[in-house]
Structure 1
Amino acid sequence: MHTSQPSLPANCTLRRASSGDRGAIFRLVLGAKLDPTQLRWQQFWVIECEGQVVACGQLRQFADAQELGSLVVAPEWRDRGLGTLLTQHLIHQASHPLYLECLGTRLAQFYRRFGFVPVSWQELPRSLKFKFGLSHFAKIILRIPVEIMTLSSQ
């Protein structure tokens, strides 16, 4: 179910983040209105184009699972396949069952292309129940369209 591998634009590289990327990662995550409290640059991969970080994503490690999170492409670099490339790379880097949470149906559709499927909060590994507990509450009580997903081909 994985999509074909796009190629990086000229003058772009996909690499592990370094400590010097912390500010760029923080700005991308804040600009996308994502939660900036769980950012550890050591868990990130970045795409650098023309000398600047234009996309980032992380694999957060839990006791018995990993979370694909904080995936952001700078607005001026969108629609060039960078999000797809980075998602595929993070999936291939995962060494444990992979989960994510996303807000809205558009993002859920994006991740379905890679084989992610919705999963109920009850089915989550124990290490993720606390992490995704607030999202589950928001979905049930406040009717916020949050989707918790897992990679189905694991």
Structure 2
Amino acid sequence: MNTFYPSAELVPALWFPLVKKFYQAYYPSGKPNKADPIWVIRNKGKVLCAVRLKQFSNCQLLTAMVTAPEYRNKGLGSHLISNIHSPLEQSSSYCFAFTHLVAFYTRNHFQEIPPIELPKELFNRFYAYTSQGRNLTPMRYKSS
């Protein structure tokens, strides 16, 4: 990556309205939740990229990852994931990658798994999403 980006930051409650506005602008279905940790990369008060780690009883789901359009395809998403390796290692971590993004998540330490290997609470959610016609691939985080 040739561009310098600041480190990811865990969103404090004070920033929540800013992050909510970012999601509304670029990923309305992302629906940030104050109960789940949200990590962002921002520059001069502007959110450039965000991701949420939705918490479950025995695992977490990396979800609602979005980058502002003018910063896409510049390595920012990978930079964000590389900055949150420690939180991803704290609990079994999964994502439901849009099929066209599997290569991206593979480069960022996620590995494709069969749906049956998902924890039950994630399997039910995955089944519901794919039943709605979403083309998703279940993946699990594997630290290097």
Taking only aligned residues, the RMSD between alpha carbons, in angstroms, comes to 2.6
Q: Does 1:19 align with 2:13?
A: yes
Partner of 2:87: 93
Q: Give the residue type in structure 2 aligned to 1:103.
A: F
Percent identity between matched residues is: 22
Cα distance, 1:102 vs structure 2: 2.0
Contact 1:29 1:36 in 2 (8 A): yes
In 1, Cα distance between equivalents of 2:16 and 2:112: 31
Gaps of 5+ in 1: none
Contact 1:28 1:72 in 2 (8 A): no
Would you say the 8 A contact 2:32–2:52 is kept in 1? no
Task: Point out where structure 2 has 5 or more consecutive residues left out of the alignment.
Answer: none
Residues 149/115 of structure 1: CA separation in 2 closer, same or farther (3 Å cut): same
Q: Give the aligned partner of residue 146 of structure 1.
A: 136
Following superposition, the deviation at residue 112 of structure 1 comes to 0.7
The count of residues paired between Structure 1 and Structure 2 equals 143
CA contact (8 A) 1:121 1:136 kept: no
1:31-68 CA-to-partner distances (Å, cap 9, x unmatched) read 34352345336511111102212211122221111111
User: TM-score, with normalisation over the residues of structure 1?
Assistant: 0.76
AA paired with 1:149? M
Contact kept? 2:98, 2:136, Cα under 8 Å: yes
Match of 1:33 among 27, 31, 34: 27
Asked if structure 2 preserves the Cα contact closer than 8 Å seen for 1:19 and 1:41, the reply is: no
Query: Is the Cα–Cα contact under 8 Å of residues 34 and 70 in structure 1 kept in the other structure?
Result: no
Is residue 104 from structure 1 mapped to residue 99 from structure 2 by the alignment? Answer: yes
Q: How high is the TM-score relative to the length of structure 2? A: 0.81
- Give the residue type in structure 2 aligned to 1:102: A
For 1:4-50, what per-residue CA distance to the aligned partner results, in whole angstroms no more than 9, with x for missing partners? x88743xx453110223223322333334352345336511111102
Q: 1:83 to 1:146 in 2, by over 3 A?
A: same
CA distance in 2, matches of 1:132, 1:101: 7
Bigger relative CO (Cα 8 Å, ≥ 6 apart): 1
